[in-house]
């Protein structure tokens, strides 16, 4: 059997219809790159497994009897992938024609590029803000004070979410979302796969941090586009995922910044993160309660 250039790894959890559309877009893509598709299902209860077996028999399917989390499931796929390139892909992505070849082209043309991400298009047709900088103490402060929202076009205050940028040029970035993230196999062999201490969130941020610290560049290209629904799995348990997001943020901070920052910067950032969780969760619950009390016909 011919070894594919590209291994596309998809983790699914109760996203049957979206996964079906994703796999069809990959199969129908006219791109020249040879590819294999690996789906790891995290104990879905919506007949995802049966759908893949029936409608996509060429896909390599791994079925977990429990939800092992996003990071562990991706590592399962990476372990059996045969390509020199790995594409981590969410099941709520639809691949546009030419996108795979465009991503491969960036890695083939730029020898220092260890990974690359495409432009993601949301259901309303807008470009998703899918790239961020690493959450250093200054950006934690700007986020906590709301300066990022007051001055979104500022390169300083909009640094974390890169709100000053329009995603219209190809450039190195620090941490694109892993919703669609192509990485060299040799890079993963060097830095390791996803850290399973980050089961849902910040595993991609952690991976990007390790890739950059190993001396590789990470690129974004607007010449590859994919549709992205966003939050297809995590929205099913939204409040629990918000709590886990904050915990993972703190875990990331401890892993990468403890002992590397002045104690006051480190302690200050962790305090702001703790306060952020204490404020954000009640605010979200209050907003949901108020929405539920609105009378029919009122905005």
Range name among 54-63, 103-112, 120-129, 235-244 with the lowest pLDDT average: 235-244
H helix count then E strand count, the chain: 10, 11
Burial 132-167 (b: 16+ CB within 10 A, else e): bebbbbebbbbbbeebbeeeeeeeebbbbbbbebeb
CATH of domain 6-130+167-234: 3.90.550.10
More confident residue, 266 or 188: 188
Residue range 264-276: mean pLDDT, rounded = 73
Average pLDDT, the chain: 88
> Distance between CA 117 and CA 180 in Å, rounded?
6
CA distance readout (Å), 168 to 101, 118, 129, 225, 266:
19, 11, 12, 12, 35
3-class secondary structure, 252: helix
* Digit-coded pLDDT (tens) for 202-211: 999 999 999 9
* Digit-coded pLDDT (tens) for 129-141: 999 999 888 888 8
3-state SS string for 277-293: HHHHHHHHHHHHHHHHH
CA 101 centroid distance within chain? 20
Residue range 260-272: mean pLDDT, rounded = 77
| pLDDT value for 288 | 43
* Digit-coded pLDDT (tens) for 54-78: 999 999 999 999 999 999 999 999 9
3-class secondary structure, 260: coil
pLDDT level of residue 238 (50, 70, 90 thresholds): low
- 109: which 2 tokens? 């043309």
More confident residue, 229 or 1: 229
CA distance readout (Å), 167 to 62, 151, 298:
35, 18, 36
């Amino acid at each position: 059997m011919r070894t594919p250039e590209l291994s596309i790894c998809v983790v699914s959890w109760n996203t049957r219809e979206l996964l079906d559309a994703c796999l069809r877009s990959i199969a129908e893509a006219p791109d020249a790159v040879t590819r294999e598709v690996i789906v790891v299902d995290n104990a879905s209860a919506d007949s995802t497994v049966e759908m893949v077996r029936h409608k996509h028999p060429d896909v390599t399917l791994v079925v977990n009897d429990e939800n092992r989390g996003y990071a562990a499931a991706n590592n399962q796929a990476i372990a059996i992938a045969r390509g020199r390139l790995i594409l981590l892909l969410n099941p709520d992505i639809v691949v546009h024609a030419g996108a795979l070849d465009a991503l491969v082209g960036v890695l083939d043309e730029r020898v220092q590029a260890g990974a690359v991400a495409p432009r993601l298009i949301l259901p309303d047709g807008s470009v998703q803000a899918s790239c961020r900088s690493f959450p250093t103490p200054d950006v934690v402060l700007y986020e906590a004070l709301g300066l990022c929202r007051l001055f979104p076009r500022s390169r300083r205050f909009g640094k974390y979410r890169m709100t000053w940028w329009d995603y219209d040029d190809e450039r190195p970035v620090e941490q694109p979302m892993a919703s669609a993230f192509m990485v060299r196999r040799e890079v993963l062999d060097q830095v390791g796969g996803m850290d399973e201490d980050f089961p849902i969130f910040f595993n991609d941020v952690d991976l990007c941090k390790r890739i950059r610290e190993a001396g590789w560049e990470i690129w974004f290209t607007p010449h590859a586009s994919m549709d992205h629904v966003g939050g297809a799995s995590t929205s099913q348990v939204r409040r629990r995922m918000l709590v886990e997001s904050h915990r993972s943020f703190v875990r990331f901070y401890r892993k990468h910044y403890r002992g590397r920052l002045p104690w006051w910067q480190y302690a200050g950032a962790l305090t702001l993160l703790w306060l952020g969780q204490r404020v954000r969760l009640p605010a979200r619950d209050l907003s949901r309660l108020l929405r539920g009390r609105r009378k029919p016909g009122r905005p």
